Amino acid sequence: MISWLLLLGVMLLSLILTGALRRYALAKSLMDIPNARSSHSVPTPRGGGVAIVVSFLSVLPILGAAGVIDWDLVWALSATGAGIAILGFLDDHGHIAARWRLIGHFAGAAWALFWINGLAPISIFGVSLDLSWGGYFFAALYLVWMLNLYNFMDGIDGLASVQAICACLGAALIYWLTGYTELIGAPLLLSCAVFGFLYWNFPPAKIFMGDAGSGFLGVMLGVLSLYAAWTAPQLLWVWLILVGVFVVDATFTLVRRLVRGDKVYEAHRSHAYQHASRQLGSHLPVTLAVLSINVFFLLPIALCVGLSILDGVLGVLLAYVPLVALALRFRAGALERNDL
């Protein structure tokens, strides 16, 4: 079983590293300067997500050596996470063309899928569907989308951090209640790494995560969900429910912009959470609202799916339909207007 002292140590390491990165960013003027497409109005240091990456990946092999986490998962998370974080860091400090970033994303996904054996058979209304080699293709698309949607959704203070913590702690709780305790270590470790960063990122943020952190979190959550499905097929649906706010907002927004003919790789402020933060005049109520949705709405549905009380597909539909309604309410993907 994972040591609570070790988890506390990871949290403190992330906390200290984020503070150090903030001082470094201020000294070197590595600032996120507000522009017409920003959701913030004050120049803020960026790149704090590196603290999450270092804190998580430095301790992951220790848990592998202790037998808390399977070594296949350690290799999948470590190399993929490090590669995606480095790519994001370079893009944060310069510019990498979208096509090269995408190639790097698929390379990272391929490495992870090699170690976790691709996509497990999917359970749909009690019927097991094995996609065989096709599962690798769909799993790669899934990981790349999870990575990028997390980048898209990291646009206001504390949101991406709160989402990662809720998903990881929610999954760990469901693993514990359903008897899959061998899966608890990695999500608990990741949540602690994010907790330390959240101290500095909670509204009003003193430092931003940056692509190095957001892309890393997205692909880590994706790998954890695919890995869990090999233990129990319903656990993939559990994860999809737990990250439902991000999946629905990002996907709905992307589809709407594609239909309109927008250049989807260009920065924008048309996600539902961005419209909501402008309407409410603050980031904090939106971040707290997402926290409440995760804890009081999505977690109970995910638990029912994990306990096999509710079919996974039905659980996702039950979770996503109200989220789509919220996305419509807050104009996800719509052109900007004066929201205030």
Looking at every residue in the chain, the average pLDDT score rounds to: 92
Task: In whole angstroms, give the CA distance from residue 103 to residue 111.
Answer: 12
Return the closest-CA partner of residue 205 out of 277, 306, 136, 120.
Answer: 277
- pLDDT per position as a tens digit, 207-243: 999 899 999 999 999 999 999 999 999 999 999 999 9
Of the listed ranges 28-32, 65-69, 175-179, 210-214, the least confidently predicted one is 28-32
Q: What is the DSSP letter of 205?
A: P
Q: Is 86 exposed, middle or buried (0-12, 13-18, 19+ CB in 10 A)?
A: middle
pLDDT of residue 339: 43
Q: Name the packing angle between helices 210-231 and 159-178 (round to 10°).
A: 20
Mean pLDDT of 246-267: 86
Angle at 19 between CA 41 and CA 201, to 5 degrees: 40
Return the closest-CA partner of residue 2 out of 216, 195, 172.
Answer: 172
Provide the whole-model pTM.
0.94
- pLDDT per position as a tens digit, 79-133: 999 999 999 988 877 778 888 999 999 999 999 999 999 999 998 888 888 988 9
pLDDT band at 340 (very low <50, low <70, confident <90, very high): very low
SS3 content of the chain, % helix, strand, coil (to 5): 70, 5, 25
Task: In whole angstroms, give the CA distance from residue 261 to residue 240.
Answer: 28
CA distances for 54 relative to 76, 168, 200, 209, angstroms: 16, 18, 16, 13
CA distances for 1 relative to 64, 169, 226, 230, 332, angstroms: 12, 16, 22, 20, 42
- Whether 273 and 152 have beta carbons less than 8 Å apart is answered as no
- pLDDT per position as a tens digit, 311-330: 999 999 999 999 999 999 99
Return the closest-CA partner of residue 312 out of 120, 136, 179.
Answer: 120
Task: In whole angstroms, give the CA distance from residue 189 to residue 176.
Answer: 15
Task: In whole angstroms, give the CA distance from residue 288 to residue 125.
Answer: 34
Which of residues 27 and 226 earns the better pLDDT score?
226
Amino acid at 197: F
What three-state secondary structure class fits 36? coil
Mean pLDDT of 284-309: 97
How much of the chain, in percent, has pLDDT values that exceed 70?
95
pLDDT of residue 335: 82
